[in-house]
Chain A
Amino acid sequence: MTKHTVSRRAFLMGSAALSGAGLVRAANIKTRSWPGNRNDVRCGIIGYGPQGREITATLARVPGAQVAAICDTYAPMLRRAQRDAPEATRHEDYREVLDNPDIQAIIVATPTHLHRDIVLDALQAGKNVYCEAPIASSIDDAKAIARAARNATGQIFQVGQTYRSNPQHRSVFQFMRSGAIGKPAMARGQWHAKESWRRASPNADRVRELNWRLDPAVTTGLIGEAALLQMDVAYWVLGELPTSVHGFGQIMAWDDGREVPDTIQAIFEFPSGLHMIFDATLASSFDDAYEAYYGSDSTIVFRDRGKAWMFKEVDALMLGWEVYARTDRFYKETGIALLANATQLDAQNVDPTEDDPNVETPLWYALQEFMDNHAFGPYPPAANWERGLEAAAVAITANQAIMERAHRDIDPASYTLD
């Protein structure tokens, strides 16, 4: 028993170094009880599609949050809202929500191309804003949103690039930045699903509105609407923004008159010379979604919303702690599980090689960060307007390259405001 404890300590020394101070609070400080009512942040959800519902369901479990109003332009969505959040008021016009002085926070989960007016109006009305990613489907709109957020000093503006708030991602980010993969060689990512992206409604006008993801005039395509969170992690952990992108796009499965490709490949070039290839498809669900970072000493793979494994080269130096870490088999490869919060788990008598029993989804952590900011801020969130603008610029330019089957430089000016 003593021996086991000692070796576990040795493991923890290693893992403590890779879990940054910023994520320490996640597992053990959060309280499950409802903290009272008067101080709750009253939130208005604008847009009650699948993402709006997910946010509403998650907020119901985030301490200090209260869904007070829900807005959607379509009656059946408001009927769902009534069932999901009976206490919330329901609105067809978002301005009614903005006019309510009791609402402190606005969460924008509408189709991407509709974000701009709502975010600008919400900030103008003095609200704190959480905006889904990508923040916009054009560079102009993205810059307008970023500028408004920058100018709204004293207000919170957080983008739904949720992995930036996820303890598991932050932990592995530290680990990667410490040089764990050796000399980086290349990166690869995929997002695979088998679905048409078509949405149905008995109402013809509604069908057009619902299918905005397949409208070439406003969509950011698979790279923006499906792969964005993964790409955001890529240039975060790589520590550099892509300078150009070469895109390919095909319609392979759903030849139903659409113009937006259902299968894409994009190759991103980074200043260091590293290239990343990303493919996404609606034709096959094989192997789901993941990103892999290949280096001279090891490869690190992220999957399942923040789980990560390291695959070591046989000639790589021993790190010491890995002999105590949990390993998982992937056919002939052995992955060393990279777990956040190992130190905290030990303090709670949970074996740090097991998955954290208190782990929450990335969206939960992102919304928790948003709520904490109301209590202790305002401070710039991990996914602030700068991160939102960068992600939008990458997605929009990559989608243009994909639609044109062409090479495009990413204008460095698109990443920043004047």
Chain B
Amino acid sequence: MQTVRMALNAMATRFELLLHGDDAIMLRGAGEEALAEIKRLEQQLSFYDPTSEISQVNANASKEPVRVTPGLYSLLRKAADIHDETHGAFDVTVGPLMRCWGFVRGRGTWPDEHARKEALTKTGMDKVVLDDGERTVAFTQPGMALDLGAIGKGFAIEEAGMFLRECGISSALLHGGTSTMMAIGTPPHNEDGWPIGISDPQDDSRMLTSTSIRDEALAVSAPKGKAFQKDGKAWGHVIDPRKGYPVQGAALSAVAHSSATICDAISTALLAMRRTESKQIQQKFQGMRTLCAYHDTGVTDLVSLEFDLTNPTNQ
């Protein structure tokens, strides 16, 4: 049994890939192809690269319908479907709000109320017209922008995972920035799957809980990290697209499902949701397991829906 470790800097994060198999040369070849696909998708989906396909859409879709590649179209269609399923809690048009809250290139700042309301009028997947026949994207408002930051990483991981399987890989773990990951098979000598620790959003040095995954994906989201303080409260970089304010729902969410794309998007949406709404979401996607941590009562309240906590080490 041989092991190959690889890494890639892309999508403003670090991807790591761990592969097990009989032939290290073959493992590396497969890994390189998978990581090259992530790099290719970064170029296609980057909000900041003016030559990216998404930048071309953002620059032109308010003037006329823009035809896009089938790959990007199916991702946007999926984003629209998840938007509907989550009643708008997941929304890739959140770009103007992110900019208004100072999170695009900075650490955030309290916006002018007029600017916030203005940004809210430019937000909403319902203001994006997707034409399945022509495969075009159009904005009904000027100043709108698609930002795939909350779904692109999961999509890239899912696509890369497909490449690994095509190359005959049967044991691998791929993650982007430790927040979205995908497992193929199980690691050697561990039939349960790949053990994954989830750190406490209140204290990174502590483990909140742990689980294991096999042949599925897992995404963890928390609004902390990029955040600012106001009135004794932390305001993080995940904006609730329905209200136009930083999310005030779960302090952490974890989602396990067969699709890394869906995990990535739903883990973000859960941050904008209350407990009851979260439960409805989990029931909508077959095989989905979710875990949310709430701090609204002053103590950490863990709500697990089918999410097996293999080894809680919340000491």
Shortest Cβ gap from A59 to chain B (Å): 9
Which stretch in B32-40, B102-110, B251-259, B276-284 binds the other chain? B32-40
Of A50, A54, A357, the contact of B50 (CB 8 Å cutoff): A357
Residue of B nearest to A32 (CB): B60
Contacts A32-B60, A60-B68 given; does A360 touch B29 at CB 8 Å: no
- Chain A residues contacting B64 (CB-CB under 8 Å) are 32-33
Of B30, B33, B136, the contact of A34 (CB 8 Å cutoff): B136
Q: In the bound complex, do residue B25 and residue A57 qualify as a contact, i.e. CB atoms below 8 Å apart?
A: no
Of B27, B51, B66, B68, the contact of A361 (CB 8 Å cutoff): B51
Q: How far is the CA of A360 from the CA of B56 in the complex (A)?
A: 9
In the assembled complex, B69 has its CB within 8 A of some CB on chain A: yes
In the assembled complex, B44 has its CB within 8 A of some CB on chain A: yes
In the assembled complex, B231 has its CB within 8 A of some CB on chain A: no
- Chain B residues contacting A34 (CB-CB under 8 Å) are 65, 67, 134, 136
Which stretch in A90-98, A109-117, A192-200, A223-231 binds the other chain? A192-200
- Chain A residues contacting B134 (CB-CB under 8 Å) are 34
Q: How far is the CA of A357 from the CA of B67 in the complex (A)?
A: 18
Of A50, A76, A84, the contact of B69 (CB 8 Å cutoff): A84
Q: How far is the CA of A86 from the CA of B69 in the complex (A)?
A: 10
Shortest Cβ gap from B172 to chain A (Å): 12
Q: In A117-154, which residues have CB < 8 Å from any B CB?
A: none
Q: How far is the CA of A84 from the CA of B64 in the complex (A)?
A: 23
Count, chain B residues at interface, CB 8 A: 32
- Chain B residues contacting A198 (CB-CB under 8 Å) are 25-26, 28-29, 32
Interface of A is mostly: loop
- Chain A residues contacting B196 (CB-CB under 8 Å) are none
Of B28, B51, B66, the contact of A32 (CB 8 Å cutoff): B66
Contacts A32-B64, A361-B51 given; does A57 touch B32 at CB 8 Å: no
Contacts A200-B167, A202-B167 given; does A84 touch B136 at CB 8 Å: no
- Chain B residues contacting A83 (CB-CB under 8 Å) are 70-71
In the assembled complex, B59 has its CB within 8 A of some CB on chain A: yes
Q: In the bound complex, do residue A61 and residue B28 qualify as a contact, i.e. CB atoms below 8 Å apart?
A: no
Q: In A65-90, which residues have CB < 8 Å from any B CB?
A: 76, 83-86
Shortest Cβ gap from A190 to chain B (Å): 19
Q: How far is the CA of A360 from the CA of B60 in the complex (A)?
A: 14
In the assembled complex, A269 has its CB within 8 A of some CB on chain B: no
Q: How far is the CA of A33 from the CA of B134 in the complex (A)?
A: 11
Q: Which of A33, A196, A355, A359 has the most CB of B within 10 A?
A: A33
Q: In the bound complex, do residue A359 and residue B28 qualify as a contact, i.e. CB atoms below 8 Å apart?
A: no
Mask: chain A, 249-260; 1 = CB below 8 Å from B; 0 = not:
000000010000
Shortest Cβ gap from B173 to chain A (Å): 17
Q: In the bound complex, do residue B25 and residue A196 qualify as a contact, i.e. CB atoms below 8 Å apart?
A: yes
Q: How far is the CA of A230 from the CA of B167 in the complex (A)?
A: 31
Q: In A195-215, which residues have CB < 8 Å from any B CB?
A: 195-196, 198-202, 207
Q: In the bound complex, do residue A355 and residue B50 qualify as a contact, i.e. CB atoms below 8 Å apart?
A: yes
Q: How far is the CA of A351 from the CA of B262 in the complex (A)?
A: 40
Q: How far is the CA of A196 from the CA of B36 in the complex (A)?
A: 12
Q: How far is the CA of A60 from the CA of B66 in the complex (A)?
A: 11
Of A60, A84, A359, the contact of B67 (CB 8 Å cutoff): A60
Count, chain A residues at interface, CB 8 A: 29
Q: In the bound complex, do residue A195 and residue B32 qualify as a contact, i.e. CB atoms below 8 Å apart?
A: yes
In the assembled complex, B195 has its CB within 8 A of some CB on chain A: no
Shortest Cβ gap from A141 to chain B (Å): 27
Q: In the bound complex, do residue B167 and residue A50 qualify as a contact, i.e. CB atoms below 8 Å apart?
A: no
Q: In the bound complex, do residue A85 and residue B56 qualify as a contact, i.e. CB atoms below 8 Å apart?
A: no
Residue of A nearest to B58 (CB): A357
Q: How far is the CA of A48 from the CA of B32 in the complex (A)?
A: 17
In the assembled complex, A2 has its CB within 8 A of some CB on chain B: no
In the assembled complex, A39 has its CB within 8 A of some CB on chain B: no
Q: In the bound complex, do residue A358 and residue B33 qualify as a contact, i.e. CB atoms below 8 Å apart?
A: no
- Chain B residues contacting A86 (CB-CB under 8 Å) are 70
Q: In the bound complex, do residue B50 and residue A32 qualify as a contact, i.e. CB atoms below 8 Å apart?
A: no
Shortest Cβ gap from B132 to chain A (Å): 11
Q: How far is the CA of A201 from the CA of B163 in the complex (A)?
A: 10
- Chain B residues contacting A356 (CB-CB under 8 Å) are 50
Q: How far is the CA of A150 from the CA of B145 in the complex (A)?
A: 48
Q: How far is the CA of A361 from the CA of B43 in the complex (A)?
A: 11
Residue of B nearest to A87 (CB): B70
- Chain A residues contacting B65 (CB-CB under 8 Å) are 33-34
- Chain A residues contacting B68 (CB-CB under 8 Å) are 60-61
Contacts A195-B32, A196-B29 given; does A61 touch B56 at CB 8 Å: yes
Shortest Cβ gap from A200 to chain B (Å): 4
Contacts A201-B168, A357-B59 given; does A61 touch B29 at CB 8 Å: no
Q: How far is the CA of A400 from the CA of B64 in the complex (A)?
A: 52
Q: How far is the CA of A195 from the CA of B35 in the complex (A)?
A: 10
Shortest Cβ gap from B247 to chain A (Å): 31
In the assembled complex, B215 has its CB within 8 A of some CB on chain A: no
Mask: chain A, 20-38; 1 = CB below 8 Å from B; 0 = not:
0000000000001110000
Q: In A240-267, which residues have CB < 8 Å from any B CB?
A: 256
In the assembled complex, B200 has its CB within 8 A of some CB on chain A: no
- Chain A residues contacting B308 (CB-CB under 8 Å) are none
Contacts A34-B134, A355-B50, A360-B51 given; does A200 touch B70 at CB 8 Å: no
Q: How far is the CA of A316 from the CA of B70 in the complex (A)?
A: 51
Further pairs besides A33-B64, A57-B53: 5, Cβ < 8 Å: A33-B66, A57-B69, A60-B69, A357-B50, A361-B51
> 27 A–B contact pairs at CB < 8 A?
A32-B56, A33-B65, A34-B65, A34-B67, A34-B134, A34-B136, A50-B36, A60-B67, A60-B69, A61-B69, A83-B71, A84-B69, A196-B25, A198-B28, A200-B26, A200-B27, A200-B29, A200-B30, A200-B33, A200-B167, A201-B167, A201-B168, A256-B25, A356-B50, A358-B56, A359-B51, A361-B51
B residues lining the A interface (CB < 8 Å): 25-30, 32-33, 36, 40, 44, 50-51, 53, 55-56, 59-60, 63-71, 134, 136, 166-168
Leading 8 A-B pairs by shortest Cβ distance? A202-B168, A200-B29, A198-B29, A200-B30, A200-B167, A60-B69, A200-B26, A32-B60
